[in-house]
Amino acid sequence: MSDYVPITCVDHDRLELAVLKRRKLYLRLRDGDGWTELDVLPLDVYTQAGAEWLRVITDGGREITLRLDSILEFREI
């Protein structure tokens, strides 16, 4: 993933803390030409194939994986 743009260390730490404490998050994500919003339970933050990823469960119960540089904004809910 040579086009991956790392997020700040502070944001990475905040995501890891949300995983450890099992805190639900609101996410605003880059989605094609626009953005989308999700409320999620974060499960894991990890590195693979030269990028960083967040594995989550959505409010609808789906497990999905998101590239961290697609997250425009996040906060605990």
The pTM is what?
0.92
Dump pLDDT digits (tens) for 15-62. 999 999 999 999 999 988 899 999 999 999 999 999 999 999 999 999
* Domain total of the chain: 1
CATH number at residue 26: 2.30.30.520
The answer to the question of residue 19 being in a domain is yes
Residue 39: which domain range?
9-76
Q: Is residue 2 part of a domain?
A: no
SS3 of 34, please?
Answer: strand
- Decide if 15 is inside a domain: yes
Residue type (1 letter), 53: W
Sign of the alpha-carbon dihedral angle for 56, 29, 27, 52: positive
Residue 32's pLDDT is what?
A: 85
Whether 34 is in a domain gets the answer yes
